[in-house]
Structure formats: structure tokens, C-alpha cells
Amino acid sequence: MKGKVYLIGAGPGDLGLMTLKAVEVLKQADTVVFDRLINPHVLKLVPKDVELIDVSKFPGNHTIPQAEINCILADKALQGKKVIRLKGGDPFVFGRGGEEALHLYGRGIDFEVIPGVTSAVSVLAYAGIPVTHRGIASSFHVITGHGKSEDDFPDFEALAKLEGTLVFLMGIKNMEHIIGRLIECGKPADTPTAVIMNGTTPYQKIAVGTLSNICDNAKKGNIKNPAVIVVGDVVKLRSKLSWYENGRLFGKRILFVGSFDKQNGMPNSGSPLQRLRQEGADVFIYPTLNITTIKQNVKKLIDGIQSFDILIFTSKNGVESFVKCMKEYKLDARYLHNKQIWAVGPQTAAKLSQAHLYADVVPDTYTSKALLNHVTQEDKGKRAAIITSDIGGERIISGLTSCGLKAHKVIAYENRPNIEVKEQLLEVIHDGIDMAIFTSPSSFNFMREIVGDEIEALKDAQIAVIGPVTKQAIQKAGYTVDIMPQEHTLKGLSEEILAYY
């Protein structure tokens, strides 16, 4: 049985500019063939067991020839696989997608093209440069800047006469030639020009000038590939229309090692972490905790549920473990009649509500200590099951016991170091981080266990924590905590980070 190949444009760099259809198909992939121009966070959208093939090409260094890439696509499809060819920008805009499609056609293999947002328009927009503008430019022209000889370039005499915006893709290596030929062929030397590097990403950098000085300005600004060259009067609008670089966190590298509600490793559009991205930060999400449900413990609790009066959930992970077992045994809320449900924090309560279980007690301050303030005289003598992790719950159990309750710890899940993220963590640390976010003592302790002495890099970064228990653990280890919100939630933490900057 033949498979199918999807030629997908991943857009210019900002993950949010990928199309919904592209994301949908990626999640169904068997094999993903990708290149260097895609945002590496995109690969978190694919299932863990997907085959990943890196066919990256660098200017002047095509490690895997195009003919071989064509064969990889076809061979994988002939194995019956759903193959994704993932390209930066749009596959049919200087992406050689047409060549790959023709090869597949010639071998009788089904394919589909999912267009991407091209850098020829989007990168300019993120730089505050409209590619067209009434009264300034009524047309734009996209040109390859990747020629090896004069014959590979379009007619510069014709280009120089055009009044519309000129956009050159992949032209840094040949920039002096491109600019020189435009001037030679009559384009005024004072024509506004810009070069945009790493457009639509937190590493966006821009050199602005005219044809006469743009090459020098780009060198001074250390502008390198990938970059877009734009020539035309629309460049002058950047001084008023620049917006992306105004983000409060623009260019900041933020490492998040906690856990959160996620789909294939990426925060959803409404998550607090996404808010940090919207303000220009590059957020690296590498949870250091590997959470495993202890099924037999949860089953034992469910079997003996009638012996408890109160169910106390200390985290959403405990809720997930509990609800998962309830579903497995085809039990619903009726099974929990006459039981009180307490939750530490709104995130835990929200996770309960997703299973149509609603907490009777949620403290205003999102800590175990605050939960104890809700214990009443009527609760004394009641039996409470504290559904928590192997390393959690001790404080609340001690507090409940002091208040006269009979507290029983149920280890619903285990926290273990997530060794799988070691390579990625080390890479991010070596490249430098501005801030690290910790949501529990274990997220910090496991990071230290995973990366060893490299954790010393935190002494040169800001540290943000979700609450006092985490703050105390990190300070005890000799590190300074810079940010802790009054509201001990990810939302509260993200707002405090934005206020800090």
C-alpha cells in the first residue's frame, strides 16, 4: 500500500504563523523530513515515535543533495507511510517544492501541498515594513538572491526600472553583487533599503539604510543568513510601523522546566507561557519531571473510597491519575456521592471540573498551608485521602493531623527526572538563558540532577518561581530568586515576569 507525501510550508519562523491544516497533518505523521529554516519548536508538534530526518542545507554546503531528498520522500511513501516534507516559508516559493512534487508525480505517488506563510511578506510585516502601500508601492516582486553566476539572476536592468518593492530571498552571500548591479542599472543610490535577519523570531535583527550604504550597515550589524533584503520607499515606513521588537520580552531566552496542560509539548494559545512568547520571548519548554501514575495505589483508593470523607488533591497531576483510573473502571461522579473534594489551587480545581468534579474547598492563596485554614470544627475526626506524589503531601498531612483529621497519603504518581531532555537542556544552557522558571522544588532538583554542574549558569540568569516552597528550596541551594508572584499560578507568574521587565 502506497503512502502519501505532504509538502508543508512551516512559515517564516514564528510558530503561530503555521496554518491550522499544517499542524493537523503534522500530528498524523509517520515520517518528517525537515530542513534548518523551520522553527525547532515545530518538531514538538509531532508524536514521539515519529521518524525525523534532517536534510538541512546551508549556503554552499548541501550535505544531502536534492536528488537524494526526492528519493527519501518517495521511498518512505512507498513503504506505506504518511510523509511530511517540512520546509521554511512556502514550499513553492524558492523552496524546490515543485521539483519534489514532480519527482513524486513521476513515481506515481500521491502528494498534497499545504502552503505556508512566505517570508517575502511576513518578515517585512514583522519589521514594520508593508510590502505594498497606497501611493508608495502598488506592486512587489520576489526575487531569488541565491544565484551562483550572473545567468542565475533576473534582468537587473528590468528590476532597476520597477517602481514596486523588490524583495530578495536568500541573498546575503550575494548582497554586494545584488546592490551593486541595481545601482549600475540605474536604481537611485538613495533608495531606502533594509536587511532583516531571523525575521518573525525573538532574534530578529534589522539593518536599515539606502542602496549606497546598506552593505556596510549590514556588516556593522553582523547580519547573516537567513535574511531578507527589501528595496523600496516602503522601508521608510518602518520608523512609524515597527511593532514586533517593542515586546517587553523581545529577545529574552526563557527556560521553563515545570509541567503544564499541554498537547504534544506545546502550550495552547491561551496559556500563560504563550503570553510570554507574544511579548517577544523565546520560551524553551523542557519539563525535568517525568510523571508516572501508580495505578495500583489509585485503584486501592477507589476500591476503598467509602472509608474516606474527604478527597484532597494537591495538584492537577493527581487529578489526572485519579480520573484516568475512574474512567478505566467506568465510574463517574455518582461513585463519589457524600464525599467532599478539596483542591490546592485553581489549576487543580479546573482540572477536576474538566471531569465534572467540582471542588468544595479551594483556598484563596494557592498553598497547602492556606488549605488548612479551611478546616472547621466539624471536620475533626474525618478521614481524608491526600492524593499526591511520592515526594509531596507531607506538610498538609502534618497540618491535617494537627487539626484532628485522620490523614492518609495516597501516592497517585511518581516524580522522576526526565533524562530525555538532557541534550536539549544543555544546548539551551550553553547558548545562554536570561531566565529560568521553576514550578516546584522537584523541577529544580531534577534539573540539577540532569545537567550537573551546568546548573551554575543559573547564577547569571534571573530565576522565577511559582510559590514560597519552591523559592525556599532554590535559595537553600544557594541561588537567588528574583521573581515570585502573590498569586501562585502560572498566570500570576507570567504577569509578574512581564511586570519585572
For the chain, what percentages of helix, strand and coil (3-state, to nearest 5) are there? 40, 20, 40
Please report which residue ranges of 304-440 form alpha helices under DSSP H.
Answer: 316-328, 346-354, 368-372, 394-402, 422-431
Identify the burial level of 307 via C-beta atoms within 10 angstroms of its C-beta, where 0-12 means exposed, 13-18 middle and 19 or more buried. Answer: exposed
The neighbouring-strand residues paired with 192 are 210
For this structure, is 57 an active site residue?
A: yes
State the greatest distance between any 2 C-alpha atoms of the chain, in Å, as a whole number: 92
Closest CA to 318 of 285, 359, 376, 271: 359
Which among 170, 197, 435, 447 is annotated as catalytic? Answer: 170
Which among 4, 44, 57, 491 is annotated as catalytic? Answer: 57
50 Cβ neighbours under 8 A, 6+ residues apart: 29, 30, 31, 32
Under 8 Å between Cβ of 32 and 25: no
Give the Cα separation of 360 and 341 in Å (integer). 5
Computed from CA positions of residues 327, 333, 336, 339, in that sequence, does the dihedral angle turn out positive or negative?
positive
Closest CA to 145 of 123, 166, 170: 170
Identify the burial level of 213 via C-beta atoms within 10 angstroms of its C-beta, where 0-12 means exposed, 13-18 middle and 19 or more buried. Answer: middle
Under 8 Å between Cβ of 441 and 473: yes
For this structure, is 75 an active site residue?
A: no
Which among 14, 30, 35, 379 is annotated as catalytic? Answer: 35
Sheet of 140-144, strands arranged across? 140-144, 165-169, 227-231, 192-197, 205-210
475 Cβ neighbours under 8 A, 6+ residues apart: 481
Give the Cα separation of 32 and 426 in Å (integer). 24
Q: What is the 3-state secondary structure (H, E, C) of 325-359?
A: HHHHCCCCHHHHCCCEEEECCHHHHHHHHHCCCCC
For residue 444, what are the CA distances in angstroms to 109, 413, 449, 455, 461? 49, 18, 9, 9, 14
Q: What angle do CA 56, 60, 66 make, to 5 degrees?
A: 50
Identify the burial level of 148 via C-beta atoms within 10 angstroms of its C-beta, where 0-12 means exposed, 13-18 middle and 19 or more buried. Answer: exposed
Helix (H) or strand (E) run with residue 435 in it: strand 435-438
Closest CA to 440 of 343, 363, 350, 367: 367
For residue 377, what are the CA distances in angstroms to 148, 230, 265, 382? 83, 73, 44, 10
Catalytically active residues are: 35, 57, 170
